[in-house]
Structure formats: C-alpha cells, structure tokens
Amino acid sequence: MGLRIVGEAPFTTGVPGKPASRIASIFPNTGTMVTLPGIHATQRLAYVDLLNASARERGLPKLTRAEEDAEMAGAVDLIMEGDAILIRPHPDDMALAFQADELLQDLVAKHKVKFLDVRNQKVHDAIKRRGECWRVTPLPKSPQEMRQMIAASRIGIHGEEIYYYNKTNGTRFLTCQEFDRLAHLGDSSLRQHLAEIREFSARVNIRGKPEVDFFLADKPFSKADLAPHDFRALAPEELETLHRQLGEKFRSAVRPELQRDDPEDVQWRNAMCAALLGHEDEAVSEETLLGLSSEFFMQIQWLPGGRIEEGELIFDPIFDQGGDAARDPDLQRLYDEKSRAFIYNLVREYGDLEYVNIGRVIGSLSYRPPTEGRREVYIAQVKQRGSRKEILSIIRMQKWGIHEHLDEGKSQLEAILESEEYTEYVLDRRLGCWQLGMNVPGRITAKKIGERYSGKQANYRGIFIRSPYFERDYIPGIATDKIPNHRFRSDAFALAYARLLGRAAAANMIVGRCDSHGHVLFDDGDEVMLENDSGLPVEIVVADQTGTFADYSRDLQGVAAEYAEPINRRAEHVSHCHQFAGTYLDAFRERFFRIQQEYRNRKRAFDTLFKHRVRDEAGSFAYRWEKVLERLHRTDPRELATLIREHLALK
C-alpha cells in the first residue's frame, strides 16, 4: 500500500529556507499522511473532513462522532527535523507507531526515522525489545548540540516561527522577547499572532499539555491574561497599547537575567533545554531505565544491530548499506561492523535471546588525557528468553591488537604473535592485581571479532584479522571522581567513603599504577563506588586496571605525595576534614600492612605465581611482578602514611 500524502510532500520548502510544514500526522490504517500547516489536532480534523468528503462522493453517510474519534485515535504524530522524521509514539499503542515506521521507510531511509519520548518506560521497553535502541532521538551532549537543538526547535503555527517546540510533549514555548518582537510585524500580523496565541494557549493536546505556554512566566502571566480580549475587533491604537501592556506583564513575570533569548548564556540555554526536553527527562533518565550509573548519561550512542523474531536473528538492513556510509554522514556515524560481530558472539554464547542492543560509549568517562592505542568501549544489553533479568556488559577493545601492530610496520605474523602476547599480559596483570588485594571485577573474558584491516600498510589492506577485546560485567555504581560534592556533607557517608578509598589507595600504590609520564592513576574514573540501600558506600571496585605494574622500580616514598590529592580535593566539602583524612590514612596503613603480611606469610606462592612466564629485565610481566614484590617486602606502610599526611592541605 503506497503512502497517500495530503498537503505538501515532507521537507518541501515554503518561504525561502523554511519548510512548508514542520509537523505531520500519519494514519497507518489507511496509509495516509497529512502535512497541512497547523497543529496535530487540526491535521486530525482535516483527515476526518477528508473521510467525510469521500463518503459523500460515494453516497455514504458521514462518520458518527464515535467513528470520527476512532479515526483520529489512529493517528501518529510526526515532526520533521532537517532531513529526518521523528515519530512521537503513544506509549499505550506502540504497535501503531511501528506500523507508521514501516510506512515512513518508503519515504526516507530507515536511519532517518527516529523515535521520541524514549524516557517513557513503555516506549523504551518496546524499542529495546526490537533491538533498536539506536533509533532513539539522541539528547544533546555538549553546549554546541544544545544550541543546535534550540535553533532546530523554532516553529510556527499559521504565521512566524515565534515558538520553541518541545517535540516530546507537543508544547510550543513563547518567550517574552518573541512576544515583544510581535510589535514590529505590523497591525495585521500582530492581530493574527495575538489571536493565535490566545486560541492555542487555551488548548491542550492529546497528551494533556498546553499547545502554547509562556516560557518561565509561571502563574504571574498566563492564558488568563489573553482570554478576555478579542484582538481581531480592536482598533489599531487599542491593539498596540494592549500588546505593550501584556508584554510588560509577561516580562515582569520572568527573571531579568532570563528575559533575553540568548543560547550563548548558560542560564538561559539550560532553562530552555530543560523546557524542550520536558520534566520527564529530568525525573527518569536513560541511566535509570538501563540501570546505568550517571556518568553514562548521554554518553552512549546506540548502534544498529539485530532483533530476535521467533528465535531467529535478523540483522538490521542498514548493514546492507555499508557502501553508502561514506556518502552519508549520518549513516557513517551509525554503521559499525563491530556491532554485528559482537552480536554474533553474544548469540553464540547465550543461545536463545529475547533481544540484544549494542551501544558505543562516546568520549572517555575518565578525565585523563588520551593515550596511544585503541580505546573503543561498548556496552551490551542482553536478555535471555525466560529470564527476568537483563545482562549488562562492558566491552573494551584491546589497546594493542593486530591492527595497531600492523600500523607499526610489523609483518602479519609478528602482529598476530604480539597481539596474543599483549592479551596474556593484560590477563596476567589482572591476576596480579587480584593477588595483591586490588578489588577488580569478578569476571573478565578475552574474546575476538573479525575485522577488515584498513590501516597504514597498503599491502595488508582488506585482509581479515581477528581483533581482541575484553568483556566484563557492568558494575552498578558511580565512579569515585564523579560523586557529587554535596554527598560528603554527611559524616556517615564521608567516613565510610574515606575508609574504602584508603584501602583502595594501598593496593593501587602497591601495584605501581601510573601513566606513561609516571603520574599516579587513582581516583580518576576507573574506581567505582557501590552503595547499600541506605546510600552509604560499601565497596570500591577498580573497573579497569589501566597503568598497573607500569611503575615497578621506583621506591613508593616517591609517589606518596600524590595520594594526598583525593583528600585535598574533597576537604572543603566535608564537615570534619581532619577526621576524614585520619580515617583515610588509617585504612591505607592497615590495608597496606595486611597485604604485606599476606605476602610474607605465603611468600613462595606469590613468588612462583608467574615463574612459567618469560623473565625479561627489559620489562616482561614476570620481571615486573618480581620487582613489585621486592618493593612490597621492604616498604614501611607507617612511613608512607606519614609522607601522605605531610602533603595534606587541611585548614
């Protein structure tokens, strides 16, 4: 069934540079799309008028009121933005939204059709079960993207684009600046727009939200101020005076610093973004729906993958468009062959799946500067059929794999061997960390995916290589460096946290965790704090052992000063900074001493743990392990605690 369009075709421009209509309504049951200017409610009415006109032509009675209501209930709201169509689904009828989606793919490519309102649990779950989290309209992730979202939200009804449109709930926000600007439009246009504002501020849409609302005005200025006036009947002088009076009242209802529309101003920009995203986005965020901690919020780009239907894995058709990715920037951002490869592995591992979604973590969740090597991180969301719980996993590509070694000029065989050696090195480091008391994740698995090499060596381009990655369970906590400062005002929280952080610092120092410049890596994004039901810290897990055993030769006294920084950074936020610091140092000293005693009591077990590995004083892991144990044996934890205390900056 072809799609019938009533009105201009989508993306048709009207006045120079402006679309003829930014909104549309689609009726999947009859394959009809209405794009007439107005609001979604008037498009529904136009559709009913069309049905009644058709009935008259065929000599049939017009629709009853109940039949009209049923036809209008079969509509799905659409918003055109750029070259994409956004579907605003009704949470209680997702099947209708998916029917609309299928029809729209006859007009535009699948990746140009996206879903709104994914913060709604019903909408989110329905899209997730289809393995299509990537179809969600992304939230802005930077000030630049926030400015772009604000600019793209400008919309009109029957006249100028004077409103800012919340695509999720359908409300158009009018600012006091835009209201004042109507004075420059001339008598006829001013009259038209004031009547429009009066009419639509009094209406609510199908979601119970006002069609037009007054930005930041709240109760002091509302639709009640416009309701008594018939703007079309006023004389020009009366109209001008009334508009000025209403504008003054609108302005007085808005804080002075927010009366000017300025996307460069942080306060105004944040307030407008909050209005455009809706209160639901503040109350229920993506990490809450997924069970992810807050540092992941707005940091995941979901990728096309596949869906499971009747036990069969069906990959998204977007993978058939791989050759088009170079010509389409949007498709290029979405097309990631690794997503399909991860899904293959997950299906083979877990068997009968209900759904699987793969997301790419964009940007680093750590504040440390980027380093060489591969850094892609992904998240996998899997649910087995019959299981009540989802499985969340973190996937991290191996830093040095075949691709990276080929780029260094190595032969294919050398690259394969060195990649395998690095995998063993990473796993050995993890075992060493665990043996020396570092609280690392309980499970980590080394796996591989197939890729085509496209790097620097031209003679190897196009060959099939096996790229290694590590998969671990997601840790449901918050990174220690991202804990809100206000939480440290609670003495119970602060002291429990200081105790855990001191214990973690001891193990971190023992394994010589630092970057390539010798700076200590600690409390900067890899340590994850877990809480109990009362919100108190109960555990710190080191999610990624980056930099461990990098410093295996320096005496630990030389790095002690850097372990004062976690306390100094939080001292002003705790009520009793000296008690906070003392708890940290006591826990550090006790934990260091305990690990040291465990080594001395089981010295042979520790010393021989990596005897089967090659010992090379140039830096093999077996040699590093040997030097770290020697240093542990000779170091006095009381001296270290004293040195850390000397570098505390407490009032």
pLDDT digits (tens, 9 = 90+) for 21-56: 788 999 999 999 999 988 898 999 999 999 999 999
Here the tokens at position 311 are: 């036990």
Assign domain 478-646 to a CATH class. mainly alpha
Alpha helix locations (H) across 231-301? 236-252, 266-277, 279-283, 286-290
Closest by CA to 77, choosing from 6, 23, 22, 157, is 23
Name, in order, each residue with C-beta under 8 angstroms of 74's C-beta and a sequence gap of 6 or more. 27, 28, 29, 96
The predicted model scores a pTM of 0.74
Closest CA to 96 of 73, 117, 119, 113: 73
pLDDT for res 159: 87
Separation between Cα atoms, residue 440 and residue 444, nearest integer Å: 9
Average pLDDT over the chain, rounded to an integer: 89
Q: Is the pLDDT of residue 71 over 60?
A: yes
Contact 465, 550 (CB under 8 A): no
For residue 198 the two structure tokens come to 């009066």
Q: How far is Cα 35 from Cα 20, in angstroms, rounded to an integer?
A: 9
Give me the DSSP letters along 128-151: HHTT-GGGBPPPP-SHHHHHHHHH
Q: Distance between CA 474 and CA 579 in Å, rounded?
A: 33
Instruction: Please give the backbone phi and psi of residue 280, each rounded to the nearest 5 degrees, phi first.
Output: -60, -35
pLDDT of amino acid 135: 86
Contact 571, 489 (CB under 8 A): no
CB atoms under 10 Å from CB of 74, counted, come to 19
Beta-ladder partners of 23: 79
Looking up tokens 């900056």, which residue turns up? Answer: 649
The answer, yes or no, to whether residue 312 has pLDDT greater than 90, is no
Q: What is the pLDDT of residues 203-227, one digit of tens each?
A: 998 888 999 999 999 778 999 999 9
171 with 213: CB under 8 angstroms? yes
Tokens of 370: 């980027």
The confidence score (pLDDT) of residue 369 equals 58
CA-nearest of 370, 357, 371 to 300 is: 357
Residue 464: predicted pLDDT: 95
The 10 Å Cβ neighbour count of residue 186 is 11
Q: Which two tokens stand for residue 157?
A: 């009804």
At residue 287, the pLDDT reads 44
pLDDT tens track for 528-557: 999 999 999 999 999 989 999 999 999 999
Query: Which has the minimum average pLDDT: 20-24, 293-297, 617-621?
Result: 293-297
How, if at all, do strands 84-88 and 113-115 pair? parallel
394 bridge partner residues: 379, 472
| Residues 112-123, mean pLDDT to the nearest whole number | 85
Rounded Cα distance between 582 and 576, Å, is 10
pLDDT for 295 equals 42
Of the listed ranges 14-23, 201-210, 376-385, 510-519, the one predicted with least confidence: 14-23
Q: Are 196 and 157 in contact, with CB atoms under 8 Å apart?
A: yes
Rounded to whole angstroms, how far apart are CA atoms 78 and 119?
17
The SS3 assignment for 538 reads strand
Using the structure block, give the residue that is written with the tokens 């004062």: 564
Answer whether residue 288 shows pLDDT above 90: no
Q: Are the beta carbons of 513 and 551 closer than 8 angstroms? A: yes
pLDDT at 311 over 70: yes
pLDDT value at 285 more than 60: no
- Percent of the chain residues topping a pLDDT of 70: 93
Is pLDDT above 50 for 251? yes
Give the 3-state secondary structure of residue 420.
helix
In this predicted structure, the answer to whether residue 371 has a pLDDT above a threshold of 70 is no
pLDDT at 280: 38
Beta bridge partners, 527, equal 542
Edge-to-edge strands, sheet with 163-165: 154-155, 163-165, 172-174, 212-214
pLDDT of residue 352: 82
Long-range CB contacts (within 8 A, 24+) of 370-378: 371/515, 371/516, 373/399, 373/400, 373/404, 374/398, 374/399, 374/400, 374/401, 374/403, 374/404, 375/399, 376/338, 378/338, 378/339, 378/342
Q: What is the pLDDT of residues 495-516, one digit of tens each?
A: 999 999 999 999 999 999 999 8
Can you tell me whether residue 77 is helix, strand or coil?
A: strand
Domain chopping of the chain, boundaries: 1-118, 139-284, 327-473, 478-646
Long-range pairs of 263-271 with CB within 8 A, sequence gap ≥ 24: 263/146, 263/147, 263/150, 263/151, 264/147, 266/143, 269/143, 269/146, 269/147, 269/150, 270/146, 271/216
